[in-house]
Structure 1
Amino acid sequence: MSVPNSKGQELTARIEVLSKRSDVTPFEVRSLKKEIDKLVSVNAAEAYMLGGMLAAITGDYAESKELHEKSLKLVADDVGYFNYGVSMKTVGDLSLAKDLFAKTATIVPGDTELLAHRLQTIAFLFDYETLEPIISDFKKANSAVEVDELRAVKEARAFVSSVESLGICLKQIARVGLHVEKALLKYKLSTAHMVERVSSFDGVSHVYFELNVEANSASQLVEVNECLMDLILEDSAIEDWDRIVVNIIRREHLQLHSGVEHSAA
């Protein structure tokens, strides 16, 4: 989201274009940063927000968070909360992103772009317990959209139904999602793409999640997967740990050819 009729609208569009690329150059970042800095004397809140968005796409979690917080202290509105949420989703702090999107929904509950981000965020968090409340709130605010017919909603409900048919508790899956988030944040990684499905191996049905990250090396992938395994095994509340399988890989090694896919927007 951008502030209408402002220089920030143009800069927001440029930042969004960069966020979809994997070959962003230091020159492009520096050029944008200079233009954002010029806005500080005109509209500091907007400048800090844009700076936070730019920092997120360069992977600077601390700077992104600091700048967005500075922006919200000056102007706390739906645009600020939403873009802060998008930035946190980009750097992998999905729990904070979820909370920020929920805050945005108290101001613009019927916004379709916001709904898309909320659905994707809970998918990356494996937090399907919150699916129906989100859908319900959106329906009340925007009856013009046939939300039940949206592909993301249909796929999420079908996945939930499949999981429940296995007798696996959604709360346990959500706890695994929090551990995934914690492990990825530890290694400064975030999910770019994910596939989820219900499968079976040696006669045992399980839920399978395959997450794509931009890991630096194969050894880092091993470390983050081992870290995740330890976190899950240490959590006594996850009784079905052997039926909730998570594999963190690099994009070029994506293995699945079927299942529900989610890609970072």
Structure 2
Amino acid sequence: MAVQLTTTSTVTDQINQLAKTARPTDFEVRRVKREIERLKAADIAQHYMLLGMLYSVLGDEKECRENHERSLKLSSEIIFLENYAFSLKRLGASADALRLLLRAFDMAPVEEVFEEAAQAMIFAGDLTQYEQILDRFAKANPERSLDKVHAARYIRNVKSYLDRADVSSDDFRAAMQLIESVMLAMKCRGSVEAINFHGGTFDGVPHVNVDILINADSGLGLNFVNDAIADAMASADDIEAWNRLVFTVSEWTVDKEEVA
């Protein structure tokens, strides 16, 4: 079993490395597929899970979903839900990813899964169930101070910035979905590493600065991405607070990891 787990971890690392490559070569993809195929006899559930993860990197949503669904039929372990969710986030299906992580949290209301679910809520722009999972987490972990839980502090700050700028939950959800669609079109959604929120004021009007940090390759023009986002927000007739949500895409670096 130890060898099997080590092999799965190695293949996962290879898939994550492919995700950081702007254009994986056919040779690299075939090599990872061979490694996944070797697991088929030992653990068919993990075989399908890894295939789903690989297809998410390749941008094939149909194959990604079908293989992850096969893995869930064979195993109810939380790791299968989590990796399915991560694959969907990479493909820009943040709302579906959130639903999977809420299922995982319902099975195991531990801090790691709470953090993952809270982050998924931000990516999906949907905080409607946050108070519910926060209450469940607090009851399941009475010894843990919420002030020491990063996700709890993070969401608390985000909610305070949104409230101060009078950004409704509907506007926040619509804006995050719009930004996700723009980044998918610009082929950089899968490169998002973190999202930082800060409060600000312009001409006496409170607004929210949303800094999207991406692992950018040298060929990606961040100015083009930011221009596309600005145009999309300015044209969004259904977002009343379009001028109070200021999105900026910038390059993620190690020195930004602590605040992300």
Deviates more, 1:128-137 or 1:20-29: 20-29
| Cα deviations by residue, 1:234-261 (Å, 9 ceiling, x for unpaired) | 31xx3222212223x3517x9xx99x94
Where does residue 103 of structure 2 map in the other structure?
A: 103
Please, what TM-score do these two structures have when normalized by structure 2?
Answer: 0.79
**Runs of at least 5 residues in structure 1 that lack an aligned partner in the other structure:** none
1:61-100, aligned counterparts within 5 Å? 61-100=61-100
Letter in 1 for 2:237: E
Task: Specify which of 8, 20, 23 is matched with residue 22 of structure 1.
Answer: 20
Letter in 1 for 2:94: L
The change in CA–CA distance for 1:224 and 1:242 in structure 2 (over 3 A counts) is: closer
Where does residue 151 of structure 2 map in the other structure?
A: 152
Where does residue 212 of structure 2 map in the other structure?
A: 211
Task: Specify which of 10, 35, 50 is matched with residue 7 of structure 2.
Answer: 10
1:1-265, aligned counterparts within 5 Å? 5=2, 7-16=4-13, 19=16, 22-23=20-21, 26=25, 27-110=27-110, 112-190=111-189, 191-213=192-214, 214=216, 216-217=220-221, 218-219=223-224, 222-223=227-228, 225-230=230-235, 233-235=236-238, 238-247=239-248, 249-251=249-251, 261-262=259-260
The change in CA–CA distance for 1:19 and 1:222 in structure 2 (over 3 A counts) is: same
What is the root-mean-square deviation in Å for CA atoms of aligned residues?
A: 3.2
| Post-superposition offset of 1:154 | 1.5
| Post-superposition offset of 1:78 | 2.3
User: Could you tell me how far apart the structure 1 residues matched to 2:187 and 2:63 are?
Assistant: 14
Q: How many residues align?
A: 249
Aligned partners of 1:93 and 1:185 also within 8 Å = no
The change in CA–CA distance for 1:69 and 1:185 in structure 2 (over 3 A counts) is: farther
The change in CA–CA distance for 1:134 and 1:229 in structure 2 (over 3 A counts) is: farther
| Post-superposition offset of 1:37 | 0.8
Aligned partners of 1:78 and 1:104 also within 8 Å = yes
User: Could you tell me how far apart the structure 1 residues matched to 2:32 and 2:77 are?
Assistant: 24
Letter in 1 for 2:81: Y
User: Could you tell me how far apart the structure 2 residues matched to 1:228 and 1:152 are?
Assistant: 27
User: Could you tell me how far apart the structure 2 residues matched to 1:221 and 1:169 are?
Assistant: 23
Aligned partners of 1:125 and 1:178 also within 8 Å = yes
Aligned partners of 2:118 and 2:151 also within 8 Å = yes
Please, what TM-score do these two structures have when normalized by structure 1?
Answer: 0.77
Letter in 2 for 1:109: P
| Post-superposition offset of 1:199 | 0.6
Aligned partners of 1:92 and 1:189 also within 8 Å = no
**Runs of at least 5 residues in structure 2 that lack an aligned partner in the other structure:** none
Letter in 2 for 1:94: S
The change in CA–CA distance for 1:155 and 1:77 in structure 2 (over 3 A counts) is: closer
The change in CA–CA distance for 1:67 and 1:139 in structure 2 (over 3 A counts) is: same
Deviates more, 1:159-168 or 1:216-225: 216-225
User: Could you tell me how far apart the structure 2 residues matched to 1:193 and 1:141 are?
Assistant: 27
Q: Secondary structure at 1:87's aligned position in 2?
A: helix
Letter in 1 for 2:208: V
